[in-house]
Structure 1
Amino acid sequence: MACKVKGGDTSKLLPVISFLLGSTSTAAFVFLLAILDVNWRLSALASWNNGAQPALSDEMKAMAELTEVLRNASMDDKTVIMTSINRAYAAPGSLMDLFLESFRLGEDTEPLLKHVLIVAMDPGALERCLSVHRHCYLLRRPEGAIDYSDEKHFMTKDYLDMMWGRNLFQQTILQLGFNFLFTDIDIMWFRNPLRHIAITSDIAIANDYYNGDPESLRNRPNGGFLYVRAANRTVEFYRRWREARRWFPPGSNEQFILERTQAELSRAVGVRMQFLDTAHCGGFCQLSRDMGRVCTLHANCCTGLANKVHDLTNVLRDWRNYTAAPPEARRRGGFRWTKPGKCIR
């Protein structure tokens, strides 16, 4: 179940909405989405225009658009595969092209593209997305907000703002009643990773380093690959996750705080976490040795857009060589990834 407005009376939100619509903060808009009743969908929005209520604002229309985009992209169980891009990542030959190409090269992954929603951080990214993909959504920001169109370097202020904003947007998706599998744009998809997510898991997350136990809260998670099931407890998990920022030094990112609070948060709200084996959902930090098992490969433990593009291009080349080999040779194994020389030195 998704969270609901207390008492189901959306008219009580009007003073809050009026305040938020005057705000210049990106977070204010996302918070507006987060507090709305999940059942207050397009039909309810339309009823506001019958003369008794004010006309729909641009922000409310954007929420309706988001709900419709999610509905169009979702699987039968209301799960959406979601990633985000800016203009730098969307440029021809950059990470978005590599990401989409991996689905086309993977084993039975191309059909999953119809469930991939690409969230554009700027109009330039949206334009490029619409030229190559079916489901694209522009995350609108008020005039004067931070420009996310250029590369944001790891752990800079703009980077941290973007990561925490992404975290809040993910909570919004849950409150709209949709499960999501968030994947960074620098993750290559070669097989369907959903097969390795337990039906009993509320949250399933990849790891930079996996200790061998999928239930161990001592794993080192990476929020770049994250499945979350829509429920009141997962929404509360997200709320407390952000609230925990106050206990850590300024400039801490969401992944750092999750690693240090995941045991406490999951126990407090009753969330069952699953930590995914890097043999299936791995990356450059702990590179999978068996191409016959790998589902996704992340350019983690790596900074710099050019470095990621270079090394992931080699990853796709290695995968092409593997899939082009005769079945007998593939069964024997022995295929290895090219060392990510730009990322790992």
Structure 2
Amino acid sequence: MLVEDRSVSIVVPIYKTPQYLPQCIESVLAQTYTHWQLILVDDGSPDECGEIADRYAQQHSAIQHSAIQHDAIRVIHKPNGGLSSARNAGLEAAEGEYVMFLDSDDFLEKDFLEKTIGAAVKDNLDMVVTPTRNVSARGEFIEDLKRDEYWRTFDGKEQLIRYNVTPRIYRTEFLRENGLRFSEGELMEDVVFCLAANMLTHRWRLLDYSGYCYRLNPEGIVGSFKKSGIPDNRIPYRGLREAVRLVKGKNGRRDDRILEYCTVRILVTILFVFCRKSDIKTVRHMCSYTRKLLEEYFPDFVHNPYFDVRGEENVPRFQSLAVWLFKILYRTRLLTPFAIVYTRL
């Protein structure tokens, strides 16, 4: 089967982005690779987003692709359920052999699909990842993230260590066969989804190409929780546990150690970054959850050989130091009191 015979579904969850949505859609229409299905999921947006989506679908109803049963642009209107709910709805509707997730305030360079689909088909990959191109709120170029920031080597095995769900394409059956979905009602859904996806396949490739344009928004939901603290009911307790359960034991001891390494780094980030300004009850709950998760799945994590206080490949030194401190606090049972004091500073 030729590259041009493969199809890709592009899932766009939409909520309160009327000023950016047209550019997002236009960037798909401008793709040099044309065998796509665009699924616009209006997540109960209270503005004109739903009307914008419907208008584009009507204006381009003549676009048809042989591999896609429905119109090339399909609009799903649903009650507001959050980003994960909208992505799951789009994933269920996806008809393409490949699928990707494009946020409605972001956009693609015109050759993004051509580059990623070409790589996926050439090497029969489950996942193709690209570094993000950061742009301003006005869409102006800021920087391309470095390829080296996305991976490190574990005993000769290259492994992704970043968790952005959007600058990627996935083989649709890979996601469905492994039951990969987004954890609804929780934040950091990208992190837990990508943790599982990264660990469940060895058939992936990181391109030296940046074509996914990520619009930086300091006032976005992630930025706001870094300032005020994440609420207890939005921490991905359920999603992270499910991702670990899904992956552990699938690919041998080395991969379990890599999973352990990645999980601990995620726990440290949640506790010391996102819970920094959370209330004491939330911090206590997060510490309790952390201990229970590690005792159940990774009771020997303090002896993981991949943690190195001297610095780790492609990992900022301060992150290595944070994990080193976390291990000491965990072993001495001082994690909770330290976290309470730290998050009050």
**Do both proteins adopt the same fold according to a TM-score greater than 0.5, normalized to the shorter chain?**
no
Normalization by structure 1: what TM-score? 0.42
